[in-house]
Structures are given as structure tokens and as C-alpha cells.
Amino acid sequence: MELVDKIIKGERAAIAKAITLVESSKDTDQQISRELISELIKKPGKSIRVGFSGPPGVGKSTFIESFGSYLVSQNYKLGILAIDPSSQITGGSILGDKTRMVEISKNPNTFIRSTPSRGTLGGISMGTREASIILDAAGYDFIFIETVGVGQSEIVASNLVDIFTLIVGPGSGDELQGIKKGITEYADIFIVNKNDGELKMEASKTAADYKSALSYYKKLDALEKQVLLVSAIEQTGMEDVIKTINQIIDQNKLKGIFDERRADQLEYWIEEEVKNIIASDITKRLTSKGNIPKYSEKVMKNEMSMYEAVETITKDTLKQ
């Protein structure tokens, strides 16, 4: 494929077109993108994928601008996939991430793509995983994935990356009660942002709260969860972040966790994909057979119970 060569050469327009293909809802585009991805995974790059998640407005984009500037100044190549939460249910989206990433977006060693989330689960859009495969093949050292953290989304987002980072704001310590085992398993690093000006005290306190809360959930062989204090606006704490990322990556590689994780993620995505295909297949069958209105009418007329109806429909639908 010509596109593959261009991507591997790092041609900006080709990378962009390829991402459009993997995000496209058109059948023919999806066909091409499947072929494309099968080709690209044969030529893997060496990227480290880092996820940045957190509540709206906590400073994810600002942090990426700051941290990204630091990385490109160290000559790293940086790909950024920003999943923009601002989409409306109807209507299109206003994608404003770039107004918060002014400096790095100018840099020739970055590639920044915003994607409207369209309300999909966890704000991960269709194609984010594939887009990171494309950037990997194109030779980016780091791939950042920015997602809004709400509810279930961390689980999805964390399955896309080698290191998952949760960015929180000063004062968010109160929400710690809500932090269940789940999130501590998925997140490797907790970054308390806005450690500046009047917010400094509060930020330190929040970091301390996180540290003590996390100490309960120590996992056996994994590295201790890290809590870092930064100010995206004042660009402080950036060295700590890269140091911690590198440390975790090195450790994980050494202990085999790095590959294990990628393997687990693969299982996750295969399962998801299979479920998706089955679900959409079943949905198609359900509608084409017209069982639901038929049996619901029977239930309405008290001819059968709802459970009987469910059982009958299920059997009929799964019948080949």
C-alpha cells in the first residue's frame, strides 16, 4: 500500500488521511483501514503510549502543552490524540484544544489531532486505538492520549496505553472516598495540577491525601503508585513527570509487565471487538425478525409473561 510507505516515512498528510480512515463510519473506509492496520502492525515503531485522563477543566490540555514543550525541547517526537469532549448530542463540535496547545502545535516534531468524542463510552472515539498504531508506525517517540475522565472511561482509556495518568486538581481529595480499587489499578501516576499561586497549599494537601489513600491499595509486584505535583501554567514539575514515566517503563520492561500489559490489552480489545460484532449482528437479526413487537403485544394482552417472551425471543434469535 502506498499509504503505508508514506506513513512510515512520516508524511504528515498521509498520517492525517489514515487517521480519517480509521475514524470513518463508512464501510469502504473501514475495509481499507483494516488492511492498513494489518500492514502497519508488521512495522511497529517504538512509541510509548501515555494516557492523560481527568475531569473537565483540570488542565489536561494545558499540561500537555507544558509537558510536551519540555519533551520536544529534548528532541523527542510527540504525537497527540486529543479526544474533545465538547461535542453536542445533536450538531457538530467545536474543537478548541489547539487554543491550549499553541506552542507545541507549531513544533515540527509534533502531530496533534483532535477528535470529537460524539458521546461514545468513556470519550474514547472510534479509531483511537488504530490512530495510535498509525502514529507508532510513523515514528513518534511518545503518543499522548487525552481523554476526559468520567465514570467508566478510565478503564477504556487505560487499555490504550502503556502508562495511564490521572490528572486531578487541588481540592479533589474529597473525592477520594469515591476512588475505589478500580482506578488505583488502572492509573500508574497521579498528577496534582495547578500547584501554583493561591492554590499551592491546597495542592500539596491534595497530593498528601492521595498518597495516604493510595498506600492502602498497594499491588503486589507493581511499582508504588506515584503522586506528583505540577503546575502546567508555570511549567514546574515537568522533569519529575518524565523521570517517573521513564522509571515505570524501565521497571515494567525489566519485569515483563510492559509486554504482559500489551498482551492483556490485546485480549481486552479482541473481546470488545468480538462483543461488538456479535451485538450488532444480534441487533440486526432482532429487528429483521420483528419478534420484539410481536411478543410484547402478547405480553400486553397477558397471553404470556415477560420472562417467557424473553426466553422465546432469545432462543429464536440465537437459532442459526
Partner 1 sequence: MTNKSNNGFNTWQKSFEKETKKNFSDAKSETDEGIDIKPVYTRDDLENFSFVENNSLPGQWPYTRGPKASMYTNRPWTIRQYAGFSTAEESNEFYKKNLESGQKGLSVAFDLPTHRGYDSDDDLVMGDVGKAGVAIDTVEDMKILFNNIPLDQMSVSMTMNGAVLPVLASFIVAGEEQGVDKSLLSGTIQNDILKEFMVRNTYIYPPEPSMKIVADIIEFTSKEMPKFNSISISGYHMQEAGADNVLELAYTLADGMEYVRAAMSKGLDVDDFAPRLSFFFAIGTDFFMEIAKLRAARTLWAKIMKNFGAKNERSLILRTHCQTSGVSLTEKDPYNNIIRTSYEALSAILGGTQSLHTNSFDEAIALPTDESARIARNTQLILQNETGVTKTVDPLAGSYFVENLTEELSKKAWDIITEIEELGGMTKAVKAGIPKLKIEESATKKQAKVDSGSRVVVGVNKYKNPKEPSVDVRVIDNNRVRDDQIKKIQAIKKSRDTKAVEKALTNLTNAAKDETNLLIPCIEAIKLRATVGEVSKALEQVYGRHFAKSLSVSGVYGKHFEGDEEFMKVESKIKEFENLNGRRPRVLVVKMGQDGHDRGAKIVATSFADMGFDVDMGPLFQSPKDVAKDAIENDVHAIGVSTLAAGHKTLVPELMKGLKEIDPKSKIIVFVGGIIPEQDYEFLYENNVSAIFGPGSNIIESAEKVIDLISDNLSKE
Q: Which residues bind ligand GTP (CB under 6 A)?
A: 54, 56-62, 85, 100, 148, 193-194, 196-197, 199, 231-233
Tell me, residue by residue from 113 to 152, as one string, x for binding to partner 1 by CB under 8 A and - for no binding. xx-x------------------------------------
CB of residue 272 to ligand GTP, shortest distance in Å: 24
Of the candidates 231, 241, 244, 239, the residue with the CA atom closest to the CA atom of residue 203: 231
CA distance 112 to 133: 15
Q: Which three cell numbers stand for residue 154?
A: 478510565
* Site of grid cell 508514506: 6
Q: Does 165 bind Mg ion (CB under 5 A)?
A: no
State which residue, 45 or 55, has the beta carbon closest to ligand GTP: 55
> 148 is in the binding site of which of ligand GTP, Mg ion, partner 1, none (Cβ under 5 to 8 A by kind)?
ligand GTP
> 232 is in the binding site of which of partner 1, ligand GTP, Mg ion, none (Cβ under 5 to 8 A by kind)?
ligand GTP
Which of 1, 5, 9, 12 forms a contact with partner 1 (CB under 8 A)?
12
Q: Does 169 bind partner 1 (CB under 8 A)?
A: no
CA distance 250 to 75: 20
Neighbouring-strand partners of residue 145: 51, 81
Q: State the DSSP code for 123.
A: G
Q: Does 147 bind Mg ion (CB under 5 A)?
A: no
Phi, psi (rounded to 5 degrees) for 17: -60, -40
Contact status, residue 298 vs residue 304, Cβ threshold 8 Å: yes
Residues in 231-250 at the binding interface with Mg ion, rule: CB under 5 A: none
State which residue, 94 or 274, has the beta carbon closest to partner 1: 94
Q: Which stretch binds partner 1 (CB under 8 A): 92-100, 204-212, 268-276, 285-293?
A: 92-100
On the 0-12 / 13-18 / 19+ scale of CB atoms within 10 A, 120 is: middle
Contact status, residue 217 vs residue 181, Cβ threshold 8 Å: yes
> 291 is in the binding site of which of partner 1, ligand GTP, Mg ion, none (Cβ under 5 to 8 A by kind)?
none
Q: Does 88 bind partner 1 (CB under 8 A)?
A: yes
* Site of grid cell 521497571: 251
> 12 is in the binding site of which of partner 1, Mg ion, ligand GTP, none (Cβ under 5 to 8 A by kind)?
partner 1
CB of residue 93 to ligand GTP, shortest distance in Å: 12
Q: Does 66 bind Mg ion (CB under 5 A)?
A: no
Other CB atoms within a 10 A radius of the CB of residue 94 amount to 10
Which of 42, 91, 256, 300 forms a contact with partner 1 (CB under 8 A)?
91
On the 0-12 / 13-18 / 19+ scale of CB atoms within 10 A, 213 is: middle
State which residue, 7 or 203, has the beta carbon closest to ligand GTP: 203
Phi, psi (rounded to 5 degrees) for 143: -120, 120
CA distance 245 to 251: 10
Other CB atoms within a 10 A radius of the CB of residue 15 amount to 25
Q: Does 208 bind partner 1 (CB under 8 A)?
A: no
The residues of the shown chain that bind partner 1, judged by CB under 8 A, are 11-13, 15-17, 19-20, 23-26, 29, 62, 86, 88, 90-96, 98-100, 102-103, 105-106, 111-114, 116
